[in-house]
């Protein structure tokens, strides 16, 4: 089990790093194509990257210090104490000690749909929010599995990681949108080039790169979003494995995943901007707001089967997989 457990963690981290490199490469290629395609000068690509790099840094700093407060406010989460929720605080304290991180601030969301999320910029500035439905519908072992998963996000710095990925994706979309709007209105002058460019034959290459830049500007935000979803899924797998490391009880997390997925309650406060933070996707497939929405979480069946593999168990039987398929 130990070999499988640590190999899964290592694989998830490698995959996340690789996906991050894809995002950086996509931004670099898009910036260079726009810079060279509009000016015919290779150095202009670096200038574009520098401008939008500054925008990305400013966005990161702002989100870094205020993002958690915004998320908790939008989610209508209220702080709770040990006097109000003794079992919840006890479980969070237990899992925080197991993860060797400071005790996070604990919040409660008044909603009967069972779910939870963690937010913050680092383990010293972290918060965890749990719905009242989660406390009502899960037993202690299942609750430990969920809390262990969320505190693993804190310990593994997934919140910071997701922030960085989100800023990169946002920068790609901003750069692409800016370029397309100015191209549409003639702001960049299309494939204009000087006589020296025509004489040197460089104008043809510039036109080709300009057309490539337009194609990239159209497709890049879509592919960047797909990469973001892939990163999010890898971090969910990693948090599941890390939760097992903390609780030494994969069955508790497995039961929690099944119970939450089968629950039909709708989490009203969740939206497209916050859905990726939750333990399971809070936007159910039967809801109107899920239309045209890519899932930010791995399929529940895959998550459960990975947990069973960590414990040396066979995958779920076909009947159970059919029941859970499509619920996430």
Q: Is 150 noted as a catalytic residue in this protein?
A: yes
Catalytic residue, candidates 150, 262, 287, 323: 150
Structure tokens belonging to residue 102: 């400071």
Strand partners, 128: 106, 118
What is the separation of C-alpha 306 from the centre of its chain, rounded to a whole number of angstroms?
20
Cα distance between residue 182 and residue 199, in whole Å: 27
* Residue 183, φ and ψ in degrees, nearest 5: -70, -40
In angstroms, rounded to a whole number, what is the distance separating the alpha carbons of residues 121 and 218? 32
Q: List phi, psi (to 5°) of 297.
A: -120, 150
H helices of the chain, in order, are: 2-39, 42-74, 86-99, 132-137, 140-155, 158-184, 195-200, 202-247, 250-262, 300-310, 318-324
Separation of alpha carbons 277 and 279, rounded Å: 7
Q: Among all residues, which ones are annotated catalytic?
A: 150
């Amino acid at each position: 089990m130990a070999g499988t457990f640590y190999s899964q963690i290592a694989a998830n981290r490698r995959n996340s790093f690789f996906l991050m490199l894809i995002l950086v490469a996509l931004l670099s290629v898009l910036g260079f194509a726009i810079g060279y395609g509009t000016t015919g000068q290779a150095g202009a690509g670096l200038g574009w990257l520098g401008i939008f790099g500054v925008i990305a840094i400013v966005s990161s700093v702002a989100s870094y210090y205020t993002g958690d407060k915004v998320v908790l406010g939008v989610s209508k989460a209220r702080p709770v104490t040990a006097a109000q929720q003794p079992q919840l605080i006890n479980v969070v304290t237990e899992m925080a000690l197991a993860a060797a991180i400071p005790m996070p601030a604990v919040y409660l969301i008044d909603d009967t749909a069972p779910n939870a999320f963690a937010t913050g910029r680092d383990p010293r500035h972290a918060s965890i929010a749990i719905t009242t439905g989660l406390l009502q519908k899960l037993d202690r072992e299942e609750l430990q599995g969920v809390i262990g998963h969320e505190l693993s996000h804190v310990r593994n710095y997934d919140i910071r990681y997701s922030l960085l990925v989100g800023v990169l994706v946002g920068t790609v979309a901003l750069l692409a949108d800016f370029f397309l709007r100015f191209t549409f209105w003639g702001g960049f002058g299309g494939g204009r080039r000087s006589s020296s460019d025509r004489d040197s034959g460089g104008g043809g290459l510039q036109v080709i790169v300009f057309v490539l830049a337009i194609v990239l500007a159209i497709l890049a935000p879509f592919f960047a979003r797909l990469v973001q979803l892939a990163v999010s899924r890898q971090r969910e797998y990693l948090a599941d494995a890390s939760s097992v490391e903390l609780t030494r009880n994969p069955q508790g997390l497995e039961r929690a995943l099944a119970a939450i997925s089968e629950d039909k309650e709708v989490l009203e406060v969740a939206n497209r901007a916050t859905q990726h933070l939750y333990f399971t996707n809070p936007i159910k497939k039967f809801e109107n707001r899920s239309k045209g929405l890519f899932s930010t979480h791995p399929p529940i069946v895959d998550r459960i089967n990975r947990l069973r593999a960590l414990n040396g168990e066979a995958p779920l039987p076909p009947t159970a997989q059919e029941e859970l398929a499509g619920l996430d």
